[in-house]
Amino acid sequence: MCGIIGCVGRDAETLDVLLSGLDSLEYRGYDSAGVALANGSVAVEKREGELGHLKNAVAAGGDTSDLRGPAGIGHTRWSTHGPPSDENAHPHTDCAGEVAVVHNGIIENYDELKADLLDAGHEFDSDTDSEVVPHLVEDALADGATPEEAFRAAVARLEGSYALAAVFGDSEAILATREGSPLVLGVADNAAYLASDVPAFLEYTDRVVYLDDGEFARLESGSWTVTDREGRLLEKSVSRVEWDAEQTAKSGYDHYMLKEIHEQPQALRKCLRGRVDELTGTVDVDALAGLAAESVQFVACGTSYHAALFGAQSLREAGVPAQAFLASEYATSPPPVSDGTLVVGITQSGETADTLSALREAKNRGVETLAMTNVVGSTASRECDRTLFIRAGPEIGVAATKTFSSQVVACNLLSASLAEQGDARDVVEALRDLPGQVQEILDSSRAEQVAERFVYSEGYFFIGRGHHHPVALEGALKMKEITYEHAEGFPAGELKHGPLALVTSETPVFAVVTGRGEKATKTIGNVKEVEARDAPVVAVTDGVSEVERYADAVLEIPETHPRVAPVLANVQLQLVAYFVAKQLGRSIDKPRNLAKSVTVE
C-alpha cells in the first residue's frame, strides 16, 4: 500500500535520500507523493500522480533551500479517503505548519476526531483521515507538551491501523510509531532511516530494526531509541538484511516482473536448499520439526490464496484434513477449530492486514499458527508460533510471480512433513529437477507468440482440474492484474455450469492438462466442449495426454510429478500475461489501483 521513508543525519542530502527512497517504494502502488523537511520550520512539497510530478515540482522551484534540513519524511499514497489530489497527498500539516505527518493505514475514528477539531477551530485542507493526526499534535503542543509528548498524546486518541512518522519545525528528530502497519528502522553510524519496507533505504544501510505494534521510535543524527506506550526504553536487536540493493534493480530486464519470472529457478533452489534429502526422499525443515496437526486451515489473500488452495489439496491427498479460506472472510466468520488444528497464514510480505487479522483470530482461539512468508522480521513471522520462509528474495513487481512458485514448493514441504501417507520420495525427486525444468521453459517458451496471436481477444478463460485449478485461478489473476483485460479461471468441470455462455470465437481458453488418467481425460472433454463453440484453445501440457490434438496453440512443459507440474504450467501463464500486457502498453510493474503489500482490511 502506501510507502513511508524518513531520514535524519544526512543534512544537505536529506531531500535526495527521500526522493531516492520514494523511487524504491514505487512498486507498492500509489497515486500521489510528497516530502516534508524540518529546518527551523517545516517545508512541504507534494503532488498528485507519479513521483516524476513531485520531482518536477521540486526542480521547478529553483532554490530548494526550504527543502533542506537534517530531518525529513516522504510518502507515496494509495487512496482510501478522498481521491488522488495535491491536497490529499501526504505529508499533512497542522494549522500553523509546524508539524508534518505521514500515515499508512486507516484511522477508524477520524470522523469523530475531525468533528471535535473543527469545533475547536482547526481548519482542514484534505478529505483524508490522516490529517487529523497533525491537528491532534498541534492541540497537545498548545497545552505545553513537548513534541514527543504531543505525538504520544495524539496517537493515544487514534483507533485503527497506522504507521506514523512526524517531523517538527523546531526539532532535528523524527518520531514514529506503528499499530497494524509495518515500519522498519535503518541504522548507520551517522544517520538513521525509517521506512515501510527495507528497499527504501537499503542502498545506505543493511542494518535494520523491526518495530512491533505499540512501539515508538525517536531518530536523531547517529542515534535511535525505541520505547513502549508508557515511554519505557526497549532493547531492540539489530538485524542484517541478507540481500543487497543490486537485487532490487532490473538488471537489464525491461520490467521487474520479467526479471522476477526469470529468477524463479534461483528462488526455487533457495527454497529447497538444505530442506530435502534426495537419498532418503524425506523433508527436514527446522521450522517444521516436531510439528503435528490433526487438521490444517490455510488463510491467505489473492495469489497467496491460490497457493493455499494447492496446499490444502496436497494435504488432503496425503490424509490430513485441510481447507483454504480467504483471510478476509476467516477473520469475521471463523470456522470451528480443535486442539489439533494448525492455522497456516500464507503472505508474501508478512504484512497483509487481512491475513494478520485471521492469524490473530486463530491465536485468540488457542490454536497453533504457522506463517509461510518471504520476509524475515515481518509481523507475521514475529507473531506466529512458527515461520516457514519461502526464501524467494526481494520481489518488486506488484504482480507476484516467483513468490507464488516458492509458496507452492513450500506447501509441498509442509505436506511431506505432516503426511503419514503419500509419495514423498517421488515428490522430493521431482522437486530436485524443478529449477532446471523452469529454466528449460524460460529458454524455449512460445508464450510471446501466443500472446501476439490472442492479444486483442474479448476475454480469457483458464481451466484446470485438481492441482491445476489453483493454476487456472492464478493465470486469470495475472492476466487481469497487468493487462486490465477480462479473465476468469475455473475448475475445468465448472465451465459448462454457466460460464460456457460467455465462450465465443473471441475468447481463448487456456487449458492446463498434464499426465494421464481421469483428470486429463475429463479436462480434454471440457476442451472439446469449448472447441465446439468455436473458442480457440491454448493447451498448457506435458504432451502425455495428447490434448494438443484439440488445441489451436500449445505451451509445452516437461513431464513431472502431479504436485510439481503446477509450478511449470504457471510459469507459461505468467509469460503469456506479461507479453499480452507489454503489447498493450500497460504499466506492468505498477498496475493501476493495485498495491504490493495490502496493509488495510
HSE (side-chain half, CA atoms, 13 Å) at 68: 8
Which CATH superfamily does the domain covering 250-442 fall into?
Answer: Glucose-6-phosphate isomerase like protein; domain 1 (3.40.50.10490)
Query: What value does the mean pLDDT take over residues 304-332?
Result: 95
Q: 164, 147, 117, 182: which is closest to 381 by C-alpha?
A: 182
Q: Which residues of 275-310 are buried (b: 16+ CB within 10 A; e: fewer)?
A: bbeeeeeebebebbeebebebbbbbbbbbbbbbbbb
pTM: 0.77
Between 122 and 199, whose confidence is greater? 122
**Phi then psi dihedrals of residue 430, to 5 deg:** -70, -35
Across all residues in the chain, what is the average pLDDT?
91
Same fold, 3-242 and 445-594: no
Q: Are 87 and 157 in contact (CB under 8 A)?
A: no
What architecture does CATH give domain 445-594?
3-Layer(aba) Sandwich (3.40)
Pairing of strands 239-240, 207-210: antiparallel
Separation between Cα atoms, residue 235 and residue 18, nearest integer Å: 27
The amino acid sitting at 301 is: C
**pLDDT at residue 378 tops 80:** yes
Q: Look at residue 493 in the predicted model and tell me its pLDDT.
A: 87
> What CATH topology corresponds to 3-242?
Glutamine Phosphoribosylpyrophosphate, subunit 1, domain 1 (3.60.20)
Tally the residues of the chain.
601
Q: Which residues pair with 392 in a beta bridge?
A: none
Q: Are 161 and 196 in contact (CB under 8 A)?
A: no
Q: Look at residue 40 in the predicted model and tell me its pLDDT.
A: 85
Q: Look at residue 517 in the predicted model and tell me its pLDDT.
A: 87
Give, to the nearest 10 degrees, the angle between helix 147-156 and helix 132-142. Answer: 130
Q: Look at residue 373 in the predicted model and tell me its pLDDT.
A: 95
Which of the four pLDDT bands, split at 50, 70 and 90, describes residue 331? Answer: confident
Kindly name the residue from 46, 478, 582, 596 that is annotated as catalytic.
596
Query: What value does the mean pLDDT take over residues 200-218?
Result: 92
Separation between Cα atoms, residue 442 and residue 215, nearest integer Å: 45
Q: How many CB atoms lie within 10 A of CB 432?
A: 14
Domain map (residue ranges) of the chain: 3-242, 250-442, 445-594
Q: Are 50 and 34 in contact (CB under 8 A)?
A: no
Strand, coil or helix: 420: coil
Q: Which residues of 218-256 are buried (b: 16+ CB within 10 A; e: fewer)?
A: bbbeeebebbeeeeeeeebeeeebeeebebbeeeeeebb
Q: Look at residue 532 in the predicted model and tell me its pLDDT.
A: 80
Separation between Cα atoms, residue 142 and residue 140, nearest integer Å: 5
Q: Quick one: three-class SS letters along 71-85? A: EEEEEEECCCCCCCC
**7 is known as an active-site residue:** no
Q: Look at residue 14 in the predicted model and tell me its pLDDT.
A: 93
Q: Are 269 and 393 in contact (CB under 8 A)?
A: no
Cell numbers representing residue 190 in the block: 551517522
Contacts of 282 (CB under 8 A, 6+ apart): 276, 416, 424, 425, 428
Q: Look at residue 27 in the predicted model and tell me its pLDDT.
A: 67
Q: 451, 472, 454, 447: which is closest to 462 by C-alpha?
A: 472
Q: Look at residue 240 in the predicted model and tell me its pLDDT.
A: 86
Which of the four pLDDT bands, split at 50, 70 and 90, describes residue 109? Answer: very high
**pLDDT at residue 248 tops 70:** no
149-196, pLDDT tens digit by residue? 999 999 999 998 899 999 999 899 999 999 988 899 999 988 999 998
Between 208 and 424, whose confidence is greater? 208
490-516, pLDDT tens digit by residue? 999 888 888 888 888 999 999 999 998
When mean pLDDT is compared across 21-25, 149-153, 256-260, 434-438, the lowest value belongs to: 21-25
Q: 82, 79, 74, 69: which is closest to 170 by C-alpha?
A: 69
DSSP string across 204-244: T--EEEEPPTT-EEEEETTEEEEE-TT--B-----EE-SS-
Q: Are 86 and 46 in contact (CB under 8 A)?
A: yes
Q: 438, 436, 434, 432: which is closest to 278 by C-alpha?
A: 432
Which of the four pLDDT bands, split at 50, 70 and 90, describes residue 598? Answer: low
120-138, pLDDT tens digit by residue? 999 999 999 999 999 999 9
Q: Are 133 and 168 in contact (CB under 8 A)?
A: no
Q: Look at residue 249 in the predicted model and tell me its pLDDT.
A: 67
Q: Could you identify the residue written with the cell 522498519?
A: 184
Q: Look at residue 169 in the predicted model and tell me its pLDDT.
A: 92
Report the chain's terminal Cα–Cα distance, integer Å.
11
Q: Look at residue 65 in the predicted model and tell me its pLDDT.
A: 56
Strand, coil or helix: 535: coil
The amino acid sitting at 167 is: V
DSSP label of 136: H
> Quick one: how far is CA 242 from the chain centroid?
19
**528 is known as an active-site residue:** no
**pLDDT at residue 581 tops 60:** yes
**pLDDT at residue 64 tops 80:** no
Separation between Cα atoms, residue 434 and residue 266, nearest integer Å: 11
Q: Are 271 and 409 in contact (CB under 8 A)?
A: yes
Tell me the torsion sign for CA atoms 329, 332, 336, 342: positive
Kindly name the residue from 2, 7, 271, 301 that is annotated as catalytic.
2
